[in-house]
Structure 1
Amino acid sequence: MESKADSFKETYDSGMDIDPEKTIPNPPKYERQICLDDAKSLTNFLKLSRLNVDDSIRTRINSVINHHESKDKKSILSFQRPNYATDSPCLPLIKQFIFPQWCRRVDAIKFCQSEVTEMAKEVENDPDLNMSDEERNELLRIDPYAMRDIARKKIEKSEEINALITKWANEREIEGIVRERSEEVIYDLCDITNFDVKHEFLKYCGGVSKK
């Protein structure tokens, strides 16, 4: 399994050229399968989103500040301009592109953490893995090796779930680190002294997630 350090390093040291006209990545359909270890669609989305948004955030902000315009409606630079001349040109980029992508990633990770928690409950409550003494004795009478197989199956399922719990906990931690680094770049380049990025993002994503 990919470690937090490897994943974080890949996000920030990818060495890939960033095209400021790349289209906005979308997450896969939310279903349990995307959370499993052998499914790559969600982990690929997370990597692509971080690559397109956070790895290149300095380039994107500089493009906005320099009044770069795009004709592509799906371009990351295609959004409404500030209503007032006093507004920072960074705000539309932050609110209309960065926040939505951050929120999609947070929601996807939360979804998988919730699914894995549910999977753990299902294993714990699986009647085939949690027999009564009477049921076990009857099964042993029919097949002396049956309980050994059931115990092995329960261990395997528990190990699989524990691995998934660790995986998505790591992704959540990585996501926090990535956002913090991007926030530092935003504050470094944008004149938004009255705009608390972390606070505004929590308000934005909380409101969007409840809809």
Structure 2
Amino acid sequence: MTHDTICDNGYLDELATRWLGRWESLDIDYPKLTESEYTSDEALKTAMRDEVVAAGSFGQAFNEKYFEDTYTGKDSAFFTRFLAERFPNHSILRSGFFYYPPGQGMGWHTNADTPYLRCYMNYSLNGDSYFKFYDQKTQKTVVDHDVAGWNIRTFDINREKGDWFWHSVYSNTHRISAGFKIINNLK
């Protein structure tokens, strides 16, 4: 898993302001779970036992209706160009889009049903949010804190059970996350 920050990108900064301005006031019926219910080691053990692939049962972080009303063709073209520079000769496919208001997260899951390299670009209003994953080599959980502004993470999603990439998210601030499958299929 890699984690970088994106600094001084005018389009992304405008995008975060535009999206948050629209979504902060929405009254979305989010699950009322605690941080521990989303991301604790005990929650991970339960997810592993139940072989949770997708985290829908742990909380749906964003309703597609709100996303589709906000995400423009210009936004799509920007993300595709931005990621194509980082991943030449790869197809870039949108795979997920989430808005987390303060006190929300996504429980432990693997996405093993849709393997490929995954890239998430997320915006954290003040850095009080994180991505947590299970390191198969050390057999320990790792908390990877966001920085204020834009973050970009890449990691492999594997179909093989022993190589599943367990991960979860929690936010105490407003957090946007745009996910993409990165497919190495172009010459």
User: Normalization by structure 1: what TM-score?
Assistant: 0.24
Higher strand share: 2
- Going by fraction, where is helix more abundant, 1 or 2? 1
Q: Larger relative contact order (C-alpha < 8 A, sep ≥ 6)? A: 2
Structure number, greater radius of gyration: 1
Normalising by structure 2, we get a TM-score of 0.26
